[in-house]
């Protein structure tokens, strides 16, 4: 089972092959707090806590932007912490530990995918506020297909339905910058679309 889950690259040690899996799992789990921070905007709307803000000089763009800023910074911190933890653990127990730059690079490549998930949350808040819970199914789907995809022998296109499926698995694979750029561009586009939708729709309660 472990042989099927691992990337099975002959030129790399078991540790090097297992590291991308640990980082991938940590990165998907790290997506949960920033998405929760973004969806807090919808939760506050449901509880009628936004009327007193929006009735003043606070614009909808500023309101959503403040939640987005918290979410983006939250996500960055959620990736940095496990990276530092893995590096510290490696230094403690390994004879030849991975460098901090290697761990950081293998972890931070998942940040664009995390931004994409936040962007999906914003679009749902902006256009389909009653279906914001869909993003959790998307996160769960990403975890299942990427962690157990090889074990279940799922086709490659199934992994490509999630942004995490386009991320290079460092240090086993070479870094592919182009998919990261495309994911970031799509995320920014979804940010803009979500802001437009939120500014135009009625506030519910």
Structural domain contains residue 8: no
| Whole-Å CA distances, 196 to 123, 183, 192 | 9, 20, 6
pLDDT at 97: 83
Closest Cα partner for 201 from 119, 122, 129, 118?
129
Structural domain contains residue 5: no
Q: Residue 27 sits in which domain range?
A: 13-200
pLDDT in tens, the chain (205 residues): 655 555 555 566 677 778 888 899 999 999 999 999 999 999 998 888 887 788 777 888 999 999 999 999 999 999 999 999 999 988 888 888 888 988 999 999 999 999 999 999 999 999 999 999 999 999 999 999 988 877 777 888 898 999 999 998 887 778 889 999 999 999 999 999 999 999 998 887 6
Structural domain contains residue 70: yes
Q: Rounded CA gap, 195 and 65, in Å? A: 8
Structural domain contains residue 187: yes
Q: Rounded CA gap, 35 and 109, in Å? A: 18
Q: Is the pTM of this model over 0.85?
A: yes
Q: Rounded CA gap, 81 and 86, in Å? A: 9
Structural domain contains residue 58: yes
**Count of the separate structural domains present in the chain:** 1
Tracing tokens 């490659």 back to the chain, one arrives at 156
| Whole-Å CA distances, 58 to 101, 118, 123, 130, 196 | 41, 22, 21, 24, 16
Closest Cα partner for 127 from 205, 188, 200?
200
Structural domain contains residue 107: yes
pLDDT at 203: 81
Structural domain contains residue 89: yes
Structural domain contains residue 4: no
Tracing tokens 């959503």 back to the chain, one arrives at 64
């Amino acid at each position: 089972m472990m042989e099927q889950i691992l990337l099975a690259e002959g030129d790399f040690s078991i540790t090097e092959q297992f590291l991308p899996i640990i980082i991938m799992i940590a990165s998907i789990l790290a997506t949960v707090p920033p998405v929760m921070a973004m969806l807090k905007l919808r939760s506050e709307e449901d509880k009628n806590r936004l009327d007193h803000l929006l009735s003043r000089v606070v614009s909808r763009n500023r309101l959503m932007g403040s939640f987005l800023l918290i979410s983006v910074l939250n996500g960055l911190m959620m990736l940095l912490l496990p990276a530092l933890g893995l590096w510290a653990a490696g230094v403690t127990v390994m004879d030849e530990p991975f460098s901090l730059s290697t761990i950081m690079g293998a972890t931070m490549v998942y940040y664009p995918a995390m931004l994409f998930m936040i962007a999906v949350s914003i679009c749902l808040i902006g256009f389909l506020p009653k279906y914001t819970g869909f993003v959790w199914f998307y996160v769960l789907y990403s975890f299942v297909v990427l962690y157990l995809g090889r074990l279940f022998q799922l086709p490659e296109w199934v992994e490509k339905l999630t942004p995490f499926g386009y991320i290079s698995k460092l240090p086993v694979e070479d870094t592919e910058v182009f998919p990261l750029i495309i994911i970031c561009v799509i995320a920014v586009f979804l940010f803009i679309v979500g802001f437009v939708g939120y500014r135009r729709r009625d506030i519910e309660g």
